[in-house]
């Protein structure tokens, strides 16, 4: 399988500001106050640990302020409802101030708020997952075992309490007339499977599943909203569960009040996920995912890289997936008004950005946000927000960033990047 070409970084002119600290863990964290049934290691094994993966996010709130947040949850479904900290910038990311969420429904790890139509803003936050062990579950249709055991069930055949839990999707909406309010989201569950896992590696009892929440940007096209989703597993083809991780394109024609599957995006035979969708200036939908090696094959046929595909009919059909650049978790895409398409990713090792001048069909040699060659890897997760036609802000984590005493501590940072065609 041919990878997308890498072109010269000299095709673009790039400048970056110095990092700005959003938040930093102390070198030694005290035992945190924890909710019931939350393991003590959920937040910290000491300052340098400060949670596992912070998954930082940056976006704009109603009124124009920038918001930064990150996860303090353990990397497990059972703990994803933990509240995340919120930081506000009123000066375009030059400084950040910790504050309180404006609505109690904006809970869960890194709640993501995105603009939709009619001047409104929308969020489906994460909740703590469900332990299915107390219920009389049907026989699993697909089981995969490593140090963790994964099992999949057809949602329609699950007990009523499990069915009801997966269908009870609560959204939060801001309107210019009424401000923040909660609402029920209508989700497409036809042909849905649920995936659960038993986590022996982290000694967490129970077998847990999770329902959909939004953690990647909502894309507008015409009068439709689009979302890349991997929390909902749909049969593909009908009556058959995909063996590997699957992503789909969800579409809303009523400003996010209901969502229908537009398509299951064709994946490579690997474990894939963490998708994002963006529209380039040619009107193509660009869909990128993270991948992991196939433990059943372990060949070089499908390298562990990011993968990308394109649609020219608003997501009804897709090109064959192709690898691009390097390995990276949760790639983020951002189309700038000046024609440059941006991708950010991490754990390569380090955290990187690359640029495309042809809508994502080729990419420049990447620029380092942080280069961790030979070092312990940082968070790897990133988020992007346009600040102008040629500027964007990136939020990321750095485990090697030093505090005032010169100690390396886990830190959440932002940088502003300006990029133009050379």
Q: Which of 139-148, 218-227, 357-366 has the lowest mean pLDDT?
A: 139-148
The SS3 call for residue 204 is strand
Q: Dump pLDDT digits (tens) for 41-65.
A: 334 444 455 555 789 999 999 999 9
pLDDT reported for residue 28: 63
Inter-residue contact 381 to 409 (CB < 8 Å): no
Output the six-digit token pair for 102.
């404006």
Q: Which helix (H) or strand (E) holds 226?
A: strand 224-229
The CA-atom distances, in angstroms, between 61 and each of 66, 321, 389 are: 6, 34, 19
Q: Dump pLDDT digits (tens) for 307-317.
A: 999 999 999 99
The SS3 call for residue 375 is coil
- CB count within 10 Å of CB 116 equals 17
Q: Which residues pair with 310 in a beta bridge?
A: 286
DSSP tag of 222: T
pLDDT reported for residue 39: 41
Q: How far, in Å, CA of 112 to CA of 189, rounded? A: 22
CA angle in degrees (0–180, nearest 5) for 59-65-68: 40
Q: Which candidate, 327, 346, 339, places its Cα nearest to that of 384?
A: 346
Q: Which candidate, 358, 401, 417, 399, places its Cα nearest to that of 5?
A: 358
150: confidence class by pLDDT, cuts 50, 70, 90? confident
Q: How far, in Å, CA of 325 to CA of 331, rounded? A: 11
Q: Is the pLDDT of residue 277 over 50?
A: yes
**Rounded to the nearest 5°, which phi and psi values hold at 160?**
-55, -45
pLDDT reported for residue 382: 98
Higher pLDDT, 240 or 296: 240
37: confidence class by pLDDT, cuts 50, 70, 90? very low
Output the six-digit token pair for 232.
């909902």
pLDDT reported for residue 408: 85
Q: How far, in Å, CA of 109 to CA of 54, rounded? A: 9
Inter-residue contact 12 to 419 (CB < 8 Å): yes
Percent of the chain at pLDDT above 70? 91
Domains of the chain: 6-421 (2.120.10.10)
pLDDT reported for residue 33: 53
pLDDT mean over 198-216: 90
pLDDT reported for residue 30: 54
Q: How far, in Å, CA of 387 to CA of 38, rounded? A: 38
Q: Which candidate, 3, 1, 16, places its Cα nearest to that of 342?
A: 16
pLDDT reported for residue 42: 39
Inter-residue contact 43 to 52 (CB < 8 Å): no
57: left (phi over 0), alpha (psi -120 to 50) or beta: beta
Average pLDDT, the chain: 90
172: confidence class by pLDDT, cuts 50, 70, 90? very high
């Amino acid at each position: 399988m041919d990878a997308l070409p890498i072109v010269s970084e000299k095709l673009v002119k790039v400048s970056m500001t110095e990092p700005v600290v959003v938040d930093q863990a102390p070198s030694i964290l005290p035992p945190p106050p924890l909710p019931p049934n939350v393991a003590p290691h959920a937040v910290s094994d000491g300052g340098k640990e400060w949670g596992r993966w912070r998954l930082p996010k940056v976006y704009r709130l109603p009124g124009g302020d920038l918001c930064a947040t990150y996860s303090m949850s353990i990397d497990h479904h059972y703990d994803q409802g933990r509240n995340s900290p919120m930081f506000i910038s009123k000066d375009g990311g030059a400084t950040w101030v910790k504050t309180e969420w404006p609505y109690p429904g904006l809970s869960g790890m890194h709640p993501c708020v995105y603009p939709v139509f009619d001047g409104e803003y929308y969020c489906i936050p994460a909740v703590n997952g469900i332990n299915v062990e107390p219920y009389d579950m049907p026989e699993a249709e697909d089981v995969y075992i490593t140090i963790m055991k994964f099992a999949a069930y057809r949602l329609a055949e699950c007990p009523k309490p499990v069915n009801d839990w997966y269908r009870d999707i609560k959204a939060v909406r801001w309107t210019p007339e009424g401000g923040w309010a909660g609402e029920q989201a209508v989700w497409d569950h036809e042909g849905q499977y649920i995936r659960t896992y038993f986590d022996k590696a982290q000694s967490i009892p129970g077998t847990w599943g999770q329902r959909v929440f939004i953690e990647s940007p909502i894309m507008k096209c015409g009068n439709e909203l689009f979302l890349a989703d991997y929390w909902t597993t749909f049969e593909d083809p009908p009556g058959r569960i995909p063996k590997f991780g699957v992503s789909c394109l969800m579409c809303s024609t009523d400003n996010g009040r209901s969502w229908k599957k537009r398509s299951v995006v064709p994946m490579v035979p690997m474990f894939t996920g963490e998708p994002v969708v963006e529209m380039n200036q040619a009107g193509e939908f660009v869909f990128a995912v993270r991948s992991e090696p196939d433990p059943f094959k372990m060949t070089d046929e499908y390298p562990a890289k990011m993968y990308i595909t394109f649609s020219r009919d608003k997501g009804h059909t897709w090109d064959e997936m192709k690898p691009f650049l390097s390995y990276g978790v949760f790639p983020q895409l951002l189309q700038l008004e000046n024609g440059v398409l941006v991708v950010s990713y991490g754990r390569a090792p380090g955290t990187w950005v690359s640029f495309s001048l042809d809508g994502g069909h080729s990419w420049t040699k990447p620029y380092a946000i942080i280069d961790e060659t030979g070092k312990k890897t940082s968070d790897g997760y990133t988020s992007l927000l346009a600040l102008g036609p040629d500027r964007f802000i990136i939020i990321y984590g750095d485990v090697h960033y030093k505090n005032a005493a010169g100690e390396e501590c886990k830190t959440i940072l932002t940088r502003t990047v300006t990029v133009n065609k050379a």
